[in-house]
Amino acid sequence: MYDLKGLLPESWNCIDCGIHTAPGCTNRIEAQRMIALEQAVGKGEEDWRIKQTIDDQSELYMVRDAVWKAAGMEPMGGCLRIGCLERRLGRKLRPKDFPATIPSTICLAPRASSIGEVADETACF
Ligand SMILES: [Zn+2]
């Protein structure tokens, strides 16, 4: 079986609050099963299709390794909603917390947060 361990999350549920962070996306096991079905009908890797849907409920992002570690997270240690990550950090996220070259669904427009602050910076990626 094609192994996606370390490439896709085991679960998209936030490990703090349990809310699904990417309702239209498959987790590792689901993606591996879809690939197995593609292989079973003789499709080569270049023809595999795994539909992923991103919408306004999706929280897909990456932060710099130091930010993730400061939140007490291991690499591929699970998913966190932005509000839960900010709660762990004890502060709002800033544009510089995100790698410049990786797109994200997160917009840091002024918003109420779960820690009772309003962002003072606006950044959409
Ligand atoms: Zn959460």
Q: Work out the pLDDT band at 108, boundaries 50, 70, 90.
A: low
Q: Is the pLDDT higher at 104 or at 14? A: 14
Whole-number Å distance, alpha carbon 35 to ligand 1 midpoint, is 29
Residue 118: predicted pLDDT: 40
Supply the pLDDT for residue 26.
92
- Other Cβ atoms less than 10 A from the Cβ of 33: the count is 13
User: How far are the Cα atoms of 49, 63, 99, 121 from residue 96, in angstroms, in the given order?
Assistant: 34, 9, 7, 11
**So what's the pLDDT on residue 48?**
87
- Range of the structural domain that residue 115 is part of: 1-125
More confident residue, 97 or 124: 97
Q: Output the pTM of the full model.
A: 0.77
Distance 58 CA to ligand 1 centre (A): 13
% the chain with pLDDT above 90 = 55
**Ligand 1 geometric centre to CA of 53 (Å):** 20
CA 101 to centroid of ligand 1, rounded, Å: 25
Number of domains in the chain: 1
